[in-house]
Chain A
């Protein structure tokens, strides 16, 4: 069971929170320009790394605000909590295995059409 340090309310039991999946997947700026493959990547493809994962949580039974968490998907240890719009913490060490792209804000597809996502 996780103990999550809400940036506004402090450490609370996992039960109070709602999980929001992988963080830093920015909505395409100009959706009409996206190819089917780019849509598929945006909507469905995920890094799903074994190791460090940046993800969104919402304090459902508390302040009801969204924020980001950096957590290890093997040990479940939380290594950082930061607010929406804040840059993710500097990369300490890469995930043990898994997907390099998940460590950085996503920018798949054609970067010209699909700007690299900042934090939401």
Chain B
């Protein structure tokens, strides 16, 4: 069933029938007994993997198994900041590849993912911050990625509501800016990839939880699910905060801990913030959605958790920071807050890798900052699954690096880790 193309004409045609005739964006088939590849996890990364498997590698006998609903995990819970200004070469290349895919994603998928390259500012609040940002900007530019340093006056001109007084505890001494960075519509990304993958023959199966990984000797043969056994010689786990749980089903351990990460939105107000502002020292990152809500992200709760709820002190801290930088926010009411369970790696870089178990692959460890990587992550993981070896872009992101010691330490380098 080829999906009908979305266009101004399909919109007008459907308006004539009061939008009651829209066709479902993807099918909901029953699982087949076996597939060539099974993707566990129907978040953006899993769906993008399935899409690129079918599109780039002509492997469409693929199922995406999702225990809840599409994008109900971190994909639908994040603050949607997209940028590629990472310090280390490996990260810069991977995230830049992803950013380039973002730039044409709406056209590629015929689905408006609302990618809005409105610029991402990272503030410096002391001399050390500023020098560190300068170093990063230089490294990033050497990798051919746009990045520049702004003075306090330039920052103030760009974000007039920002408190740039020299008399605050953390004065703004400057910032780095990536103009091509911005935000996107989180669930549209999941839906767009789902619709695209479905049109290429991928089965998307929701409400289907993987409860076991069946092995024969040293290789996988399929998964146990709440809808019965489903066979596959290749299994790609893309389960974010639940990656360790899946790994343990195959007797593996991962260098990952799961933590709640919270965010909140304000009541909608008129446009006042036209760019994304991030600050590592004060720890806050904020943007304004097209609906007018301020979208504010917090830090992780320190303890391990799978509960999708965090503690209040984290929210208090983030709001205190936001009010220092943007005094006018103190009059706003916050509408709702929530948490996602993020998969944090010791070096704050992802794992896109095969495992000691043949046919079993993991794409995880994106932690607090994987939304921006959604298309690129799916693209390299599809390559890894199809060819049974990594693409040069993800070769350094193997599980092996924890044994070899070749870590990609983006903890200090990534500013606020989003």
Contacts and interface: CB of A to CB of B under 8 A. Distances in A.
B341 to A, nearest CB: 9
Contacts of B405: 36
B255 A45 contact: yes
A1 B312 contact: yes
From B249, B305, B306, B405, name the one whose CB has the most chain A CB atoms within 10 angstroms.
B306
A2 B248 CA distance: 27
A14 interface: yes
A100 B346 CA distance: 22
Nearest to B246: A97
Nearest to A51: B306
Interface in A26-79: 36-37, 39-41, 43-50, 53, 55, 71, 73-76
Interface residues of A, number: 34
Interface string B281-313: 000000000000000000000111111000111
Contacts of A19: 302-303
Given A21-B257, A45-B254, A74-B307, A99 B244 contact: yes
Given A21-B257, A101-B253, A44 B346 contact: yes
Contacts of A11: none
Contacts of B244: 46-50, 98-99
Contacts of B402: 40, 43-45
Contacts of B249: 97
Interface of B: 242, 244-245, 248-249, 253-258, 302-307, 311-313, 346, 402-405
Q: 3 tightest CB-CB pairs across the interface, nearest first?
A: A44-B255, A48-B244, A19-B302
Interface of A: 1-2, 14-15, 18-19, 21-22, 36-37, 39-41, 43-50, 53, 55, 71, 73-76, 97-101, 108
